[in-house]
Amino acid sequence: MHLPEHFVGDIIATFGFAIIAIVTLLVGYKIYDKMTPDCDFDAELQKGNKAVAAVIIGLFVALAIIVATVAHAIIG
């Protein structure tokens, strides 16, 4: 079996961008949580509040689109 020339480098880059994306999503969530002190998202999620879950899902999707756009601009 013959691997493409830059296969290992591409795999390392993929994992690197994945780690950066996950960290960015977590930091973005924490910033959003700090910007909305009136709502305790963790407590609301524990209560089963589906509206709060939908807001958080929307936040993660928006942040993921931003991260993907930046990664695409960097990689080309």
Output the DSSP codes for 32-56. HHHH-TT--HHHHHHHT-HHHHHHH
The reported pLDDT for the residue numbered 74 is: 83
In the chain, where are the structural domains located?
A: 19-75
Entry pTM: 0.72
User: Exposed (0-12), middle (13-18) or buried (19+): which is 29, by Cβ within 10 Å?
Assistant: middle
What the block records as the tokens of 28 is 């973005």
The reported pLDDT for the residue numbered 76 is: 66
Residues 6 or more apart whose Cβ sits within 8 Å of residue 29: 56, 59, 60, 63
What the block records as the tokens of 36 is 């909305």
Per-residue pLDDT of the chain (76 residues; tens, 9 = 90+): 677 888 888 889 889 888 988 998 899 889 988 998 898 888 999 999 999 999 999 999 998 898 889 888 887 6
The reported pLDDT for the residue numbered 14 is: 84
